[in-house]
A and B are shown apart, each in its own frame.
Chain A
Amino acid sequence: MLEVTDLVKEYPGGLRALRGVALNVTEPQVVAVIGSSGAGKSTLIRCINRLVEPTSGSVKLGGLELTTLNRSDLRKARSHIGMIFQEYNLVERLTVMENMLSGRLGSVSLWRAFRCNYPPEDVANAFELLDRVGLTGRQDDRADALSGGQRQRVGIARALMQKPNLLLVDEPTASLDPKTSRQIMRLICELAHESGTPALVNIHDVALAQASADRVTALNDGNLIFDGAPGDLTPEVLNDIYGEEDWSATIRKDDDDAENAEPEAPAKQAKPPSRNGTVGK
């Protein structure tokens, strides 16, 4: 499905963010990418849909080489790659529904986009997804009226509106409180599995990555240094990824899953839970 070979990104100024990364995703699974800040996680994800132009290497999605596409073919390819962001990146002054329908921008004409006149099946799909992410009835609210967790739910729904064949997820929970983080991760994994979409998820929270992903990979200084099952993450491996630290409190199965669909307090701009001591990209 996704085939990344020898991917290199060198930023102007000589910073080598990726030094020959190879990553194959052959089945619809959730692949967590862990690693310290600056290890190249965000760059890796953005090199796949070319929000960041890779320096060299190859990215194949469903057999299609993405790195050499021209602009209009790239837009076509992007319309089938869903992306979820740390800061949600909803268009804040648009309504929830407009934000969700913007996921269809790749497939409607400019005139229909301007009139906000989307095909009925897209609208039906949007309402269905709205229910699925637990925001029934909120379609007319402005995106900036929602809390962090709710915004991320809209972000997830927008990505799924694209009917993606790949989900790129960049730190989906880093701006959320620990409980909302778990709910959001669970939602992403469920929806990815239901729709049979492979997902690449950058994540700081090692325990959460272990608990939710089907497979864990790790980047260190632009190199992929670990690729295996969540259970294979031992303190030795984590030492390789992050450096020497006491991991006894980090590695454990989370069984505090008794907090399913609870209402969220509105408009809490929670700071990232700093359990790893790192914030942002």
Chain B
Amino acid sequence: MTPPAASDATRGAASARTTWSRPPIFFTTPAARCAFWFLIAAYLFWSSSTLNIDWVRTAQGLPRAGDMLARMVPPDFSRSGLLIRGVVESVQMAFAASFIGMILAIPLGLAAASNLAPRPVYLAARSLIVLSRTFHEVFIAIFFVKIVGFGPLAGLLTLIVASVSFISKMIAEDIENMNMGQIEAIRAIGASFPKLLLYAVQPQGLPR
């Protein structure tokens, strides 16, 4: 028990203070802050100096760009058969790739969830996802064209890789945000891993 006089004194001292600023989060010293902004400026200067923008050629190119846009109007539908076939093929590819990608993404997503998978499996799955997200789709497309040749198959395979990496990351993150209490409860019942997926993971992931 503090004597009332003392607590009054502390309260008085505390209320005299009227300013407060949030403690720094990233840079705890002014020097670090200065260094950060200096590095940003240096990087911007360096990268813009390597761009080699030729303003004269840019100016010459502008009319050509305008010409190209003008020729788009009105659109030329004389080869509409080819157009429609191409569009339909693209949509087919997108559908098939999303479907196959979704199925392949489920096991990968489960393996990449840190709260379910053992550490080595988790790290392997995460590396795979990071690796496939690192490469641009065009890069992967070139790779598949080299393997299976030009055509819808190369496009399909590319889109599958793209959707697997994207969807599995989403699934993994969703699983990591699960309520672990529900997992614990189903585990305590003595459920095997597949039953755990069925009764605790799936209901929390899929809306219903």
Contacts and interface: CB of A to CB of B under 8 A. Distances in A.
B189 A103 contact: yes
Nearest to A71: B192
Contact of B186 (A81, A91, A114): A91
B188 A78 contact: yes
A80 B102 CA distance: 37
B41 to A, nearest CB: 43
B184 A79 contact: no
A91 B182 contact: yes
Interface stretch (B62-70, B72-80, B151-159, B194-202): B194-202
B3 interface: no
Contact of B195 (A51, A77, A105): A105
Nearest to B180: A89
A245 to B, nearest CB: 14
Interface residues of B, number: 21
Interface in B139-182: 179, 181-182
B195 A110 contact: yes
A5 to B, nearest CB: 22
B185 A89 contact: yes
A49 interface: yes
A181 B179 CA distance: 24
A79 B208 CA distance: 27
B132 interface: no
Contacts of A94: 199, 203
B114 interface: no
B119 interface: no
Nearest to B185: A89
Contacts of A90: 182, 185
A105 B181 contact: no
Given A75-B190, A93-B208, A106-B190, A85 B185 contact: yes
A74 B203 CA distance: 25
Interface string A75-111: 1111111010101011111100010001101100010
B188 A105 contact: no
Contacts of B200: 91
Most A CB contacts (10 A, CB to CB) among B181, B194, B200, B208 go to B181
A233 to B, nearest CB: 27
A58 interface: no
Contacts of B208: 93
Contacts of B33: none
B115 interface: no
B190 A113 contact: no
B199 A75 contact: no
Given A89-B184, A91-B182, A93-B203, A76 B190 contact: yes
Contacts of A98: 199
Most A CB contacts (10 A, CB to CB) among B181, B184, B188 go to B188
Nearest to B206: A93
A162 interface: yes
Nearest to B194: A110
Contacts of A102: 186, 189, 191, 199
B182 A79 contact: no
B189 A106 contact: yes
Contacts of B203: 91-94
Interface of A: 49, 51, 74-81, 83, 85, 87, 89-94, 98, 102-103, 105-106, 110, 113-114, 155, 158, 162, 168
25 contacts: A51-B184, A74-B190, A77-B190, A78-B187, A79-B189, A83-B185, A85-B181, A85-B184, A89-B182, A90-B185, A91-B182, A91-B185, A91-B186, A91-B199, A91-B200, A92-B182, A93-B204, A93-B208, A94-B199, A94-B203, A98-B199, A102-B186, A110-B195, A113-B199, A162-B189
The 10 A-B residue pairs whose C-beta atoms are closest, nearest first, are A79-B190, A78-B190, A89-B185, A106-B190, A89-B181, A83-B188, A105-B191, A75-B190, A93-B203, A91-B182
Given A89-B179, A106-B190, A155-B185, 12 more contacts: A49-B188, A51-B187, A78-B188, A78-B189, A79-B190, A85-B185, A89-B182, A91-B204, A92-B182, A93-B203, A93-B207, A105-B199
